[in-house]
Amino acid sequence: MRDPKPINPPKPSRRKSAAKLEPIDWHEFANDAVLNGNMSTLFHRPPSEDPSAYASPEALVEIEKRANRPVVVPPRIPPAEPKVIPTVGATSPVDLPPVEATSPTAGKGRRVKPIRTVQDALTLAGQILYQAMYGASDGTAPRQCAKGYRQLAAETNLDKDTIRDLIVDFKTKGIVRQIGSYNPDTRSSKTYEVLPSHAIVQGWREAGFLFVTAGRQRPEFCTAQGQTFSGA
Amino acid sequence: MIRLVISNQRGGVAKTTTAVILARAFAERGRKVLLIDTDSQGSIRTILGLKPEFHLADFLVRNRAFRECIVQACPNVDVICSNRDTTEAEVTLSNSPFRELTFERLFSEHEAAYDAILIDVAPSITLSQQCAMVYAQQVLVPVGMETLSLQGAVAAVNAAAALNRFFKRGLNVRTIGLLPVMVDRRLALTGMVLDSLKQLSGDTGVPVLPVIRTDSSVPKAARVRKFLADFDSGSKALADYNEVASLLLESLDSQHARSEADQPAQAKSA
């Protein structure tokens, strides 16, 4: 004879399954750029005003800096609409149509390869840094990165100078754009908007960058014949 | 004269509730109170059921007389309400020179009629909040028992420090207290936030005031558009607020007395 099924099976305890919360340390909010950055409006003064009458010397420096700084609007790459793409079959495994290899991948002595993902156009260090800045590569929306050089260097095992050079390169290539600057008053760090891989590649394609140089050298945008774009 | 800003950079942390209940508590202790609402959502007007003809924006940028813009909410409590026009007024003021001194300039001549001025501000740093901080120089920070509220409290403390750094001299905006509100000790997060507040207090020197317990009478009073003291005089939140009000008055009065005593001494030495 089988054991009768209990009428009221015991419910799993919610207490046991609940994750234990870590103590809150207020320092984690101390340099929060989102809230503290609001005070930056202090430094935008009306032109009819002489702030030296009341502003502190440090504030005057900041006011001066903001008044003289030209407004730079970086080109924005529109993110592509996410599509559902089968991961098997004849279609491309990534969410972008494959580039037609209209020309041979060799020309003028340089090997070229079509850009399929953002990683194709980056050095190994660049790939690691992009991963550290964007995080898990499953996103379709831009993400914000407020990590400092030191933190990025620690996460990627690269030195800070390399990080700095790579970020400059990222900006040039439209991979990141700066959306917040370092604020000495609030110690809020510089913040970048990091685009997802497919949006970057889409932007490159629209700009005509379809190939990069292949090989052991640093990849550069080039034509199908292997001619690099100056300043790209 | 007590001038106090009630600020936290997050919404829903009982800033307006605190301002209204403290104003009433001060009034019951014999003080003539002016309550200024600078939040364009106009919450004080809503929760007290006031119907003023003119608002803060009319006083700030449309040259309306002060007496036209105040409305009496109860004996000893006058209110200047806010509405959507406050945002427009801020835009107008943002291009005027020395804009942070607007409240100082406009309210100073009327403050003699009051013993305490409480200013309720919007949950984000706006020009009117900067004006309020520069004018009052004392900030009370209500903190709800959750993480975002704590984050807003830290930002409020930082905002006061940033204003002090910005001005060359004479400005000393101080956070006079962190006020834990909506405290329900049955919740684990409450203990964590209170611990964190103690840590913040230890690091910054800002005292943590006695807690305000969560109480369903508070939203009910707002629903019927009454002061909590009129709606439920036995409310536990009211008892807590009364204790805090007495403590604040005692502390602020003694500070005021000290500063008054210092001024003649400084004048003599000068």
Per residue in B245-268, pLDDT (tens digit) is 999 999 888 887 877 777 665 555
| Contact call for A39 and B125, based on CB within 8 A | yes
**Candidate from B98, B166, B199 with C-beta closest to A26:** B199
For residues B85-89, average pLDDT: 92
Q: How many CB pairs under 8 A join A and B?
A: 89
Q: What is the pLDDT of residues A68-111, one digit of tens each?
A: 655 444 555 666 655 555 455 545 555 556 555 554 544 445 78
CA closest to A57 among chain B residues: B168
Q: Is the pLDDT of residue B145 over 60?
A: yes
Is residue B270 included in any domain, yes or no?
A: no
CB B33 within 8 A of CB B118: yes
How far does the CA of residue A83 sit from the closest CA of chain B (Å)?
35
The reported pLDDT for the residue numbered A106 is 46
Is residue B31 included in any domain, yes or no?
A: yes
The reported pLDDT for the residue numbered B78 is 97
**What CA–CA distance (Å, rounded) separates B70 from B54?**
8
Looking at the structure of chain B, the number of domains it has is 1
Is residue B265 included in any domain, yes or no?
A: no
Domains of chain A: 39-71 (no CATH), 106-222 (1.10.10.10)
Is residue B191 included in any domain, yes or no?
A: yes
* B171 or A75, greater pLDDT: B171
Q: What is the pLDDT of residues A96-108, one digit of tens each?
A: 565 555 545 444 4
Is residue B95 included in any domain, yes or no?
A: yes
Q: What is the pLDDT of residues B218-246, one digit of tens each?
A: 999 999 999 999 999 999 999 999 999 99
| Least confident stretch, A56-65, A193-202, B72-81, B83-92 | A56-65
The reported pLDDT for the residue numbered B77 is 96
The reported pLDDT for the residue numbered A72 is 46
The reported pLDDT for the residue numbered B218 is 96
- The helix (run of H) or strand (run of E) holding residue B78 is strand B77-80
Residue B38 CA, chain-centre distance (Å), reads: 10
The reported pLDDT for the residue numbered A112 is 82
CA atoms within 13 A on the CB side of B187: 13
Is residue B91 included in any domain, yes or no?
A: yes
Residue B81 CA, chain-centre distance (Å), reads: 14
| Contact call for A38 and B125, based on CB within 8 A | yes
| Contact call for B192 and A35, based on CB within 8 A | no
Residue among A20, A24, A43, A186 with most chain B CBs within 10 A, to mutate: A24
For residues B109-120, average pLDDT: 95
For residues B104-123, average pLDDT: 94
CA closest to B10 among chain A residues: A35
Q: pLDDT averaged over chain B? A: 92
Q: What range does the domain containing B70 cover?
A: 2-252
The reported pLDDT for the residue numbered B171 is 86
CB B136 within 8 A of CB B174: no
Is residue B257 included in any domain, yes or no?
A: no
| Least confident stretch, A98-102, A198-202, B84-88, B130-134 | A98-102
Q: Is the pLDDT of residue A182 over 60?
A: yes
CA atoms within 13 A on the CB side of B83: 12
**Whole-prediction pTM value?**
0.65
Q: Is the pLDDT of residue B165 over 70?
A: yes
| Contact call for B193 and A24, based on CB within 8 A | yes
| Contact call for A54 and B152, based on CB within 8 A | no
H runs (alpha helix) in B180-235: 188-204, 217-223, 228-231
The reported pLDDT for the residue numbered B228 is 96
The reported pLDDT for the residue numbered B140 is 97
> Domain holding B191: CATH number?
3.40.50.300
The reported pLDDT for the residue numbered A136 is 78
The reported pLDDT for the residue numbered A37 is 56
Contacts of A18 in chain B (CB under 8 A): none
The reported pLDDT for the residue numbered A71 is 44
Is residue B203 included in any domain, yes or no?
A: yes
| Contact call for B162 and A49, based on CB within 8 A | no
CA separation, residue B238 to residues B123, B208, B234 (Å): 23, 18, 7
